[in-house]
Structure 1
């Protein structure tokens, strides 16, 4: 199916204007990645620990864990608000201006956070990270929405996964920046953690600047009635004239879908799309996919490993702050390479569902090994622990499993949680559905980042990893029964799957709808137009052969 879909795509479609837009909006994934990569490593820097009293003797272990979780989770709190307002801003002012305003908010928050260095004001840390989170939270709605809307269906998985790949570009750069500053900047100098966090500034300015040379989404322009501008933008993005069947029928398909959804909406107020989302059966299934994918992904444990990576390596026996940060930096490199592999090869080539299932299975094996290891070898993280030869081999295996879990996460949940939510919703509900999904995403990420330090104390490290393993197993079962395969289908053609009975969508949705006009899907035509197009192709072949 993938091969046929790619062959049906005109060569002109894959042009520099398309790739430029994909690059700009894909780069926004680095916003989340930088925060996840920097805050955990920042909180392990000696200068930061001393300034904000993260290991103050007067605080109990629980109070120290609570202080750390408050600092790390504040961006997730802001991101909840950012994701909530993103659907309104994205639909109201467009994908481009939504990008520019979120970059300003993001920059403002980082400036306040960095300004806390001279005084050690913890309130400025909280405020700055909350405000930065409002901007960062919006990226998870704005970017995947734009990428799904401008991408040709043959490479839609690749295009949307550019965002998730950039998440780990940010994670990797954040890890290496913190490791480098720990080596080259004194432990007594606050620049040790301020300098790495300047990466936020570089990326926000770069994305905002590049957005002025990108093209607005034709689907959004049609939605707000700017049909002529939409046609011009689609011509440029596809590098084809407006009369070409690929362009002409894509516009027709977008208009048809939008008109059908307008005809079925509950009212004309802002509550109309909300009511439509929760009262229409097909949309409720979509909403279930969004919420469950976020719930299962965030509580599978991989996100907490990303945020608290130095702590996890310390649990597995890596001692010394420099060694922990170096191991963490290598972990970021593994995740980045895995995300790129998934982006360019696996998601479109082997399909969303298979890629996710393989990733979850790898993650499950890794989590189980770490859980068993931590239950059996309870002294591994002690500074004066004496390990036997077999224990040392087990330690190396546990460290390797951290990297292995990162590969599974990048291949599975990390990529699919953005891709699925960007392509399952119809145009009218896409921004709203994505906004709800990412709000729920950050609610759960806040829960994990806030809870993990204390869960380690209450459930022990081994018990915590067993908990994550159970959630991962549930996720694997859920994917098999409920998640439909959407690769190779146009955004408009995906609608047909959700009209099936709920118990068929996940397991047989693609099979039962795959014959719903292959030529129609290739060019966005209706069934009757598809038959006429096939007859015309046959006539042209006959003429060519006779000549």
Structure 2
């Protein structure tokens, strides 16, 4: 087994793993670049001397400064919460691709609004722009995982949705380092702090133009009855002719799933809400929401948005030293994300990653909190230049070790699970619920983190450590492994018991079903020859009529 080897749900032509599927995933993931950058740059920008001087933040009391910082950061999450809900409406009526165009445009308007802020106008334009930017990233955070998962072959679905997370980390890496760069190369000025705000426009612009090229999700087109376009897009994405047995099977699975939900739930904008009466659907909505509670309960967004405060609590002093330490944090996250994307997510699986990440991350948080309590590192000696004791160095090491546990587990894996766990009729609504929960808990953490550090000190780390332990128990008892399971078989996975064996049981069922279907089509002739001309015509007519139903 090589680094990029994979476990397939059924025999898959090599053409399926083509450049187009990766290109679509990469272009859509420019959305996560703008999300990652926006989440990372704001904390260090608020600490830039030029920004502090521009808006006279140094004249504020500690409690007032904490409130201003919390407001600037948290209005972004508030906008993202509503944007993730708006995305359900746009995705139903406009589709996945055009929704990305809309939300990229909204983000660009918000980013442009922020560039008009100065001392005379005050922080109002930044606050208003952050709200609009939040709506844009909230909608994109809903759309991108859905779009990629609906395009992806099951064997590399985790890897492709993982590109979304990789984009988040690359954007964050730039966001963490940019303020170190401007602070060390430019004199304090209005332009110095404006540059980090302007860079937001780059990934948003790339998404806007890239979305004009990518194809609409075939599964969304099937659900809207636009069958010819759906088949055309699917053939283009898979790089296969319509008569290929792999496409015949995939269309059959989609047809079966859509037909089942037309009978059980019905089609329409409000019908997915009606499906919430189904307890199995309610259960998946609950699991998806809780995954983001535990993700934010790890403390990641307290670090993302207030990294200078976090490192100061450990004992790091000096603006450049704090920025440098924060930048290294971004590098570690990005490097580990590559390992997660290329190897871990589709080999180790989602469930095991979450369990190991929760246990390891909790251990590190307990150590950091204990160090701060013993060494009183929240009150460094005046005039220090960022020097640390051996205990402080150990605490910094444990912080980076926490990063290596968290990044390949709770950082991106909840997005992967939520992108694949819902059926076609409830996928948009389920992802809207998951994304809204992410931004809601993100808002709660970012809004109160400054006050938590002021009042709780080392207790903040004990708080996050306890939540990470609880997350392990939650995953062990309730989350099944979703890797390699086709989207159309997720219903079976989430009712299978025991949870820890559900994946193996469903994969065995699918193997038997696939063998039966291929035997019915006839002795492997179609698989080997791709069908005669007459067979191809028969397939085409059947596909147009939607008659591949069991």
Instruction: Provide the TM-score with structure 1 as the length reference.
Output: 0.92
Deviation at 1:519, TM superposition (A): 5.8
8 Å contact kept, 1:52–1:120: no
Which residue of structure 2 lines up, in the alignment, with residue 27 of structure 1? 30
User: What is aligned with 1:89?
Assistant: 90
Which residue does the alignment assign to 1:321? 319
Matched-pair contact (CA < 8 Å) for 1:51–1:120: no
Aligned to 1:44: 47
Q: Does the alignment pair 1:508 with 2:501?
A: yes
Structure 1 stretches of 4+ with a deviation exceeding 6 A read: 537-541
Q: In the TM superposition, what is the alpha-carbon distance from 1:514 to its structure 2 partner?
A: 2.7
Q: Which moved more, 1:280-289 or 1:466-475?
A: 280-289
Match of 2:257? Answer: 257
Distance 1:517 1:379, change over 3 A: closer
| Partners of 2:27 and 2:211 within 8 A in 1 | yes
| Equivalent in the alignment of 2:125 | 124
SS in 2 for 1:428: coil
Query: Deviation at 1:486?
Result: 0.8
Distance 1:24-1:513 versus aligned 2 partners, 3 A rule: same
Q: Please, which of 434, 437, 441 is the counterpart of residue 437 of structure 1?
A: 434
- Residue 544 of structure 1 corresponds to none
Q: Contact between 1:162 and 1:343, CA under 8 Å: does it hold in 2?
A: yes
CA contact (8 A) 2:30 2:206 kept: no
C-alpha separation in 1, matches of 2:390 and 2:521: 63
Q: Tell me the equivalent position of 1:412.
A: 409
Larger mean Cα displacement after TM superposition, 396-405 or 466-475: 396-405
Among 505, 517, 527, the residue aligned to 1:529: 517
Query: 2:422: which partner in 1?
Result: 425
Query: Is 1:282–2:280 an aligned residue pair?
Result: yes
Match of 1:15 in 2: 18
Deviation at 1:275, TM superposition (A): 2.2
Report how far residue 453 of structure 1 moved.
0.6
1:487 aligned to which of 483, 489, 499: 483
Root-mean-square deviation (CA, aligned residues, Å) is 2.3
> Is the alpha carbon distance of 1:4 and 1:465 closer, same or farther for their aligned partners in structure 2, counting shifts above 3 Å?
closer
Q: How does 1:294-373 map to 2 (within 5 A)?
A: 294-373=292-371
Any conservation in 1 of the 2:180–2:324 contact (CA below 8 Å)?
yes
Gaps of 5+ in 1: 542-547
Q: Structure 2: how far apart are the matches of 1:305 and 1:174?
A: 13
**Cα deviation 1:23-65 (Å, max 9, x = unaligned):** 1112221121011111001111011112223332xx4322221
Shift of 1:381: 4.1
Q: How many Å apart are 1:8 and its aligned residue?
A: 2.5
SS of residue in 1 equivalent to 2:461: helix
SS at the partner of 2:158? helix
Within 5 A, what are the aligned runs for 1:36-435?
A: 36-56=39-59, 59-117=60-118, 119-187=120-188, 189-265=189-265, 270-276=269-275, 278-379=276-377, 381-384=379-382, 392-435=389-432
Q: 1:519 to 1:231 in 2, by over 3 A?
A: farther
Where do 5+ consecutive residues of structure 2 fail to align? 530-550
CA contact (8 A) 1:47 1:192 kept: yes
Q: CA deviation at 1:242?
A: 0.3
Distance 1:133 1:417, change over 3 A: same
Between the aligned partners of 1:15 and 1:308, the Cα distance in structure 2 is 41
